[in-house]
Amino acid sequence: MTKRFGFTLAEVLITLGIIGVVAAMTIPTLISNTNGAQFKSAYKKALSSLNQAVLMNVAMEDTDFSTLKDDSASTGGNHVAGSLAAMLGERLQSATDVSSTYFDEVAENSGGAITPVNVEMEVTCTAEAIAAAQEAQTAGVTGDIACLSATAPTGDDEPEVDEGIVSFAPTEEDYFVYALADGTYFGFNKNAKNCSAKGTPDCIGFIDVNGSTNPNTIITCDSGTGAGSGQDGADTACEVSNTNIKDIYPVFFYGQTVEPASEAARTVLFGK
C-alpha cells in the first residue's frame, strides 16, 4: 500500500491564519511608508518648481516676491498684474486656479475644513501679526505665542522678528489655491504683497502634495518642536516618522525664496 504525505485541513487553516495575522500587522505600515515616501518626494519637487518659477521671474521681469501686488480683490482668473497669481500663470503655464473647488472638495473628502494647527514659526511682527497673536491668545492657544509681546512698528522702524506659536489654518476666504503640473497644489494668501521679509503673516502659504485627496492634514512633529519644549526651555529635536508624514506643508515665500515655514516641514525636507 502506497503512503501519501500531505497536510491536514487543520494545519492548512492554522498556516493561513498565521499568514493573515502577519499581513494585517505589516501591510498598513508598508502602505504608510510608501505614502510617506511619495508625499516627501512630491513636497521636495513642488518646492523646487516654485523656487525655479520665481528665479525665472527675476530673470524675465526683474521682479520677485518682494514686489508683489495685493491680489485680494481678484476673482476667478481676473488677477492683478504683478500679483503672485499672475506670476504663477506666466511662469508655470500649466498651473490652474482651483480656488473655487479645492476647499469644498477638502470638506467633502475629509468631513470638514482643514484643521487648524499650532506650529512654531519665526514671524515678522507687523501690526497684523501682533493682532493675530492677540486673537490666538483670546482663542485659548497655549505656549509662547509669536509676537504677543511685540511692539507694533511706527514710522520707519523695522518690525521685530519673534519665534513662537502661530495658529495656521488656510481657508477659502483668505487663500487662492493653484494646481501645478505635477499634481501638487500651492495655496497662498490673497493679501500677499511686498513679501520681502521672512515670516510676514500674509506671505505664508502651503503646499498640498496630493490636492484635495485625504488625509488633508498639516504636517506636525511626532515629538519635540525644536523650540523650547524640553526641560528648562531647552530645545528638543522635531521628529516625524515615515508612517506619520502628512500631505500639507506650510511655507514662507519672500524675496527670491520659498522655504519650509515650520519645524515639521523642515524636518521632512532635510530628513532622510
Mind listing the pLDDT tens digit for each residue in 51-90? 999 999 899 888 899 999 888 877 666 788 888 888 888 8
The C-alpha atoms of residue 33 and residue 8 are separated, in whole angstroms, by 37
The string of pLDDT tens digits covering residues 180-209 is 988 899 999 998 989 988 888 889 999 999
Measured CA to CA in angstroms, residue 22 lies from 9, 18, 32, 172, 197 at distances of: 20, 6, 16, 44, 52
In a domain, 20, yes or no: yes
State the pLDDT at residue 227: 45
Q: Considering the chain, what is the average pLDDT of its residues? A: 84
Q: Peptide bond preceding 215: is omega within 30 degrees of 0, i.e. cis?
A: yes
How many domains does the chain contain in total? 1
In a domain, 173, yes or no: yes
pTM of the model: 0.81
In a domain, 233, yes or no: yes
The domain containing residue 15 runs over which residues?
9-115+169-270
In a domain, 199, yes or no: yes
In a domain, 266, yes or no: yes
State the pLDDT at residue 228: 38
The C-alpha atoms of residue 175 and residue 84 are separated, in whole angstroms, by 12
In a domain, 205, yes or no: yes
At residue 236, does pLDDT exceed 80? no
The string of pLDDT tens digits covering residues 120-171 is 788 889 888 899 899 889 988 888 999 999 998 888 888 899 989 888 889 9
In a domain, 127, yes or no: no
The C-alpha atoms of residue 209 and residue 39 are separated, in whole angstroms, by 6
In a domain, 126, yes or no: no
